[in-house]
Amino acid sequence: MPISSLPKTTTIDDAPLISRTLARAFHDDPMMCWFFPDGASRQAGLERYFATIFARQYVRHGVCEHTEAAAAFWVPPEAKGNAVPDAQTIHDLLNILGDRAPVFRDAVETAGEHTPQEPHWYLAVIGADPAAQGQGHGAALLRSGLAKADAAGMPAYLESSKPENIPFYQYFGFTVREEVRLPGGGPVLRGMWREPRSAADA
């Protein structure tokens, strides 16, 4: 594995790199296009969005890792309650979303209604800069997080609105558990589940 794609623990000092990388990664993501429909301003909006949720939420309470061209945010079950956005974070996000704030709020509420109740490791965000896709960055981060979930004997869960990404997740053992159409004509969100694996299964 190239050194550039080895997962590293992410700290708050990495926020500028992380926000730029994820903004590029999600520029054509159906859900993010739904939240930020103006292509000309989407990059800037996504950078602010990811910087906010990273700095105020996931770097504090999640397991965050990155390579030189990708990033992933996980929430283990014991951190689930703390990783919920506080009032200030919600206020900041709604300001970033502007007139799309109601769409965002409805989508988050709908997704929350379909989140599995069983304890699990939640892959909140994973993305690679398109310029580096196919170089193993996302796969390295996914393997790293899944290894932690497997070591804890816990299943893993993620949501994806991009159909092209489904085979990638299936390769790592995820299966589509549910498909949810986001309200107001939004995209379909696919909830994907993976049972833990033992060393013998790997």
pLDDT score for 2: 53
pLDDT of amino acid 162? 96
Q: Would you say how long the chain is, in residues?
A: 202
Instruction: Tell me what pLDDT residue 5 has.
Output: 75
What's the pLDDT at 200?
57
**Predicted pLDDT at 84:** 76
Per-residue pLDDT tens over the stretch 136-191: 999 999 999 999 999 999 999 999 999 999 999 999 999 999 999 999 899 999 99
Q: Which CATH class is domain 3-194?
A: alpha beta
The model's pTM: 0.93
Which residues of the chain register pLDDT less than 50?
1
Q: Which residue has the tokens 């109601």?
A: 102
Residue 16, φ and ψ in degrees, nearest 5: -60, -45
φ and ψ of 89, to 5 deg: -65, -45
Cα(157)–Cα(22) distance, integer angstroms: 19
> Any residues with CB less than 8 A from the CB of 63 and at least 6 apart, and which?
73, 74, 75, 76, 145, 148
- The CA radius of gyration of the chain, in Å to the nearest whole number, is 16
Q: Is 141 helix (H, G, I), strand (E, B) or coil?
A: helix
Q: Domain ranges in the chain?
A: 3-194
